[in-house]
Amino acid sequence: MSLDLSTSGDLLLGLLPELVLTGWALVLLLFVAWRHHTVRDLRIAGWLTLAALLSTGIAAWWLWYNMAQAAGLAGMVAIDDFRWVTDWLFLGGAGLTTLISFAYLEREQLVAPEYYILLIFATLGMMLMAAGEDLMVIFLGLELMSIAVYVLAGFDRRSPRSAEAALKYFLLGAFASGFLLYGIALIYGATGTTNLSLIGIQLGIAGSGGSGVMLTAGLGLLLVGFAFKVAAVPFHMWAPDVYDGAPTPVTAFMATGVKAAAFAALFRVLTEAFAHVGPWQEVVWWLAVVTMVGGNLLALAQRSLKRMLAYSSVAHAGYLLVAVASGKSAGTAAFIVYLVAYTLMSVGAFAVLAAKGRRGESDVLIDDLAGLGTRRPWLAFALAVCMLSLLGFPGTAGFIGKWYILLAATSAGQNGLAAILVLASVVSAGYYLPVIMAMYMKPEASETVHADVRLGRLGEAAVAVAVAGLLVFGVWPNRLLDVARTAADSVHAPAAAPPPPAAAPSGN
C-alpha cells in the first residue's frame, strides 16, 4: 500500500495509530472530567486505557500487514516497518505498566484517573518520536512525552521523594531540551532543512568532508540531548534519584518506554540524516564505554533494590549504545531485539518490587527479599528470571539480545567494544546474583515478613506475560529476529542524487 503523504487523505491514513490514540485520549479526558472521585472511576479509566492501547496496536498492525510505505520522499512522518515495530514496543510497555498500576494505585490510595491520561499522552509522544522524519516532529514528540512523564514522576503528592524526583527531572529535562533545540537550529542553519532524508542527501553529495563547524556543533548538541534522555554517562545523574522517587510503575515506564523512544529517534536521525558524517561513531563509542563501565560499577555499590535497578538501566543504555555505534542495519536490528527483552525484564522486576514495598519502595533492600522463594515461590521465580535475563544468562531473551548486539559490533569491526560489553556483563553478576541468593539461600527475618506481598490479578498477568516472553524468546527467537531485521532494513540512508552534469561549452 503506497501512501502519497502530500494528500490529506493518505497523510491521515499514515497517522492512523496516532489519531486513534489521540481520540481515546480525548474520550478519557471527558470521562475523567465527569468522574474522578472513586476507586471504580479509577478502574474504568484503566480499562479504557487498555482498550485505547489495544486498538492503537491493531491500527499499527493493519498498516504493517498491508505493507504501507510512502510514495517518494517522506515528508514529516516516516512510513516504514521500523515505526510499526517500535509502536508495538511502546504500546506493549504502556499496557504492562497499566496492568501493574491497577492494584498499586488503589493500595497507595492514589485515586486520580488522570494518571492514565498522562500515560496515554506520554505514549503518543513516544510514537511521534519514532515516526518523526523531521527534526521538529521528533522534538514535538519528545516534549509531549517529557511533560507527561514529569507529572507522572511527581504523581504521589504526599511523598517528598516523588516531588523531588519531578522537580529534578523537569529542571534537567528542560535544560537538555534546550541543547537539543539549539542543535536542531544549528543543523538547519548548516543545511537549510530539518527533514532527515534531505539532510542525508545533502551530506551524501558533499561527502564526509563537506560537514562544517556549524553542522558538527549541531550534531554534538543533538547527541547531548539524546544522551540525557537515554541516561548515558555522564548525563545520567538525574536517573537514580528520579527512578528512586517516582511511583514504581512510573519508574518501570520511564526505564523502558522513555529510553526506547529516545533510542528509536536517535537511530533514525543518525541512520537517515548523518550516515555520511563519520565523527559521531567515535563519540558514541566512548559514550558506550563509559556508560557500561560507570553504570555497572555504580550499581555494584547499591543495597536498595530500586536504586540498583536504576543504575542497572544506565548500564543497559550502554549496551544499546554499542548497537548504535555499529552504525549498520545489524545494529538497528540488535537494538530492537534487545529493547524487547529489556522491556519485559524491567517491567517484570519493577512489578515484583512494587508488590514487595510500600510508599514508593525506596526502602526495600536486597536483603529484605530473604526467604521470598519459600513464602512467595511464584514471585521469586519471576524475579529470578528477570535478574538472569538482565545478566544475559543463556536460555533467556536477555542473552539473545546481548548476543545479537555482539554480532553487530564484531561485524562492524568494533571488537574492542564487544569485549568491553562482555566484561561489563560479567561485572553485573555482582549485583544481579545477590538478589537470587537472598530469595533462595537466606532465611526470612520472620514468618510474616512477606505476608502482605500482593500483585493483584492484573499485575500477576503482566508479570506472567513478561516471564513467558523472556523464556520463549530465549529459546525460540527466530520470529523476533526476522521482524527486527525487516524493521532495520526499512531504515536506511537515502541515496545521494548524482550531481548534475557540467554544461557543455557553447561554440561561437
pTM: 0.89
How many whole angstroms separate alpha carbon 10 and alpha carbon 16? 10
Say what the pLDDT of residue 494 is. Answer: 59
User: pLDDT tens for residues 350-376?
Assistant: 888 888 766 656 677 888 888 788 888
- Quickly count: other Cβ atoms within 10 Å of residue 415's Cβ: 11
Q: How many CB atoms lie within 10 A of CB 375?
A: 16
Per-residue H/E/C for 23-70: HHHHHHHHHHHHCCCCHHHHHHHHHHHHHHHHHHHHHHHHHHHCCCEE
Predicted pLDDT of residue 331: 80
pLDDT score, position 74: 65
How many CB atoms are closer than 10 A to CB 379?
Answer: 23
Buried b (16+ CB within 10 A) or exposed e, 186-216: bbbebbebbbbbbbbbbbbebeeeebeeebb
Domain assignments of the chain as residue spans, ordered by start: 2-489
Residues above pLDDT 70, as percent of the chain: 91
Grid cell locating 449 = 515478613
Bond prior to 234 in cis (omega within 30° of 0):
yes
CB 176 within 8 A of CB 229: yes
Query: Of 169, 164, 159, which is closest to residue 122 (Cα–Cα)?
Result: 169
From residue 246, alpha-carbon distances to 34, 104, 232, 237 in Å are 27, 13, 19, 15
Owner of C-alpha cell 497523510: 11
Treating both helix axes as pointing N-terminal to C-terminal, what angle do 377-391 and 415-441 enclose, rounded to 10 degrees?
160
Which cell goes with 438?
A: 537472598
Cα 343 from Cα 255, distance rounded (Å): 8
Mean pLDDT, the chain, rounded, equals: 85
Q: Which of 182-191, 448-457, 463-472, 489-498 has the lowest mean pLDDT?
A: 489-498
Q: Which three cell numbers stand for residue 467?
A: 516471564
The whole-number pLDDT of residue 69 equals 78
Neighbouring CB atoms inside 10 A of 477's CB total 20
Decide: residue 489, CB within 10 A, 0-12 exposed, 13-18 middle, 19+ buried.
middle
307-335 pLDDT tens trace? 899 899 999 999 999 988 887 777 888 88
Contact yes or no for 247/305 (Cβ under 8 A)? no
Lowest mean pLDDT of 54-63, 126-135, 448-457, name the range.
448-457
56 Cβ neighbours under 8 A, 6+ residues apart = 17, 20, 21, 24, 87, 91
361 conformational bin, left if phi > 0, alpha if psi -120 to 50, beta if neither: left
State the angle between helix axes of 478-489 and 81-107 in degrees (0 to 180), rounded to the nearest 10: 120
- Cell numbers 520522499 correspond to 73
pLDDT in tens, 139-180: 999 999 999 999 998 888 888 888 888 888 888 888 888 899
Grid coordinates in use for 224? 547531548
The cell for 93 is 510497555
What distance in Å separates the CA atoms of residue 150 and residue 500, rounded to the nearest whole number?
Answer: 50
Q: Dig out the grid coordinates for 458 from the structure.
A: 492484573
pLDDT tens digits for 264-287? 999 888 888 887 776 788 888 899
> Judging by beta carbons within 10 Å of its beta carbon (0-12, 13-18, 19+), is residue 500 exposed, middle or buried?
exposed
- In this prediction, residues 208-214 reach a mean pLDDT of 65
